[in-house]
Every structure is written in structure tokens, then in C-alpha cells.
Amino acid sequence: MIKLSDINFGYPTGEFRLVIDELTVRAGEKVAVIGPSGSGKTTLLNLAAGILTPFKGSVSVGGVEISSRRDKSRRNFRIANIGFIFQDFGLLDYLNIQDNILHPYRITYALKLTGDVRNRAKILAEQMGIADKLDRHPTDLSHGERQRVAICRALLPGPKLILADEATGNLDPKNKVRILELLFRSVEKHDATLLAVTHDQELLPYFNRVVDFQVFCKENLNDG
């Protein structure tokens, strides 16, 4: 579950403000976030992940208030509990695909890299259709393949919160639905919460609910 309340956020530079009275997404719920470019969708995900912190208000994930924690604590919490599929993937070019997928396990004590984890990584890579790419580096992969690596890395720890920033944006229609189904399966298996930014109208009926930024944060768009 995620709950944002009474949020006020702005970047150190620029006019942009994000004001959210309340946004709650329950465990097991799959929510699509839509809205025009520049309306703050990525900012919302970064606040939900604790990558950004609001000036005012609170962000809690699974009952843990992350907005009041220090940087290092938020980072550890994020790596262990939140699967973030970044718009630009955030893969490390100097690591091969296998090591990219396992990376979260190497940077926090909160996740333990066991044989079982390695097995699950292999199964996920197979389901995503990238099992034959594990020895390669991100630079040798297509856009759509890199995206699927980013999804594998995000889902491997079985996160309670999945944040997806246009995670199906670069995929062909067949892969798109297949990968959405894998995201949904992970949500069901772990009773997780999914917040997915998408521009894809066709995918909206698959979600439980749609948050439209143009409606949801009217003030943000008008006070610019």
C-alpha cells in the first residue's frame, strides 16, 4: 500500500509545483497514471520511491513513513521493497545483463543473493524473452530488450510496491500485453501495489483505476 498525504513539492530550480491532498493505492491494486508531458508523473513516482522528498506532507509505503527517514535509510528501504522501472531504464553498461538483474542484491544488506534468487532470475529472464542475452551488455541490446531487463531487475526481489514509468512504451503490441501480464502476476503474487505511468490508452482497461494528472492535480497545471 502507498499513501501520499498533504504533499507539497517543488524542484530547487523552476516553477513546477506538485500539490497532492491525498493519494492512496491499496495492496493488490493496479493503478495507471496518465497526463500530459510535464504534468509531474515522473515526479510523483520519484516521491513515492523516496528518491525525492516533499517540502511538506508524508509518503508512506506499506505503513512505513519514508518521507521522514534519512537518505541512506530511504535508499535501503527502496532497494529492498520497491521495484522501480525507470523511464530511461537506469541499467549499468559496464555490467552484463545477468549482473544488472542481480544488482539490487549487491548493493544492500537487506537483500540476500541465494541460489533460489539466481534461479528466479533465470526464470524471469526466460519469461521476458531475454534469457539468451544474459552474458551481453546493455549497449548490445535493443531498446525493447533493455526495457525488459529493467523490468526483470525491478521484479526479482518481489517488491511490495512497483513503480513503472512507461514500462511498456517501447514494446510491440504482443510483448506489451505479455509484459503487463507479468507485472500483474507479480502484483498478485506479492499482494503488491502497482503505480504505472502510461500513454497507452489501449492498456487502461487492464488496470483497476486510472489517475489522470490533468484532473487530479489541476492546481499544478494552472499556477505555472
Choose which of 42, 67, 168, 198 interacts with ligand ADP (CB under 6 A): 42
Contacting residues for 38 by C-beta, under 8 A, at least 6 apart: 16
Q: Does position 222 bind ligand ADP by CB under 6 A?
A: no
Select from 6, 11, 202, 219 the one that contacts ligand ADP (CB under 6 A). Answer: 11
Regarding 43 and contact with ligand ADP (CB under 6 A), the answer is yes
Write each residue from 21 to 40 as x if it is in contact with ligand ADP (CB under 6 A), else as -, in one continuous string: --------------x-xxxx
Which residues form the interface with Mg ion (CB under 5 A)? 42
Q: How far is the CB of 52 from Mg ion (least distance, A)?
A: 13
Residue 61 C-beta: closest distance to ligand ADP, Å: 19
Cell of 214: 490533468
Question: How far apart are the C-alpha atoms of 18 and 150, rounded to whole Å?
Answer: 27
Cα 183 versus chain centre, distance: 11
Which amino acid belongs to residue 210? V
Q: How far is the CB of 109 from Mg ion (least distance, A)?
A: 31
Out of 41, 78, 133, 148, the only residue in the binding site for ligand ADP (CB under 6 A) is 41
Which residue's C-beta sits nearest to Mg ion?
42
Please give the size of the binding site for ligand ADP, defined by CB under 6 A. Answer: 12
Q: Phi/psi of residue 173, each to 5°? A: -55, -35
Q: Please count the other Cβ atoms lying within 10 Å of the Cβ belonging to residue 132.
A: 10
Alpha helices in the chain (DSSP H): 41-49, 71-81, 97-106, 115-127, 143-155, 173-189, 213-216, 218-222
Binding-site ranges for ligand ADP (CB under 6 A): 11, 13-14, 16, 35, 37-43
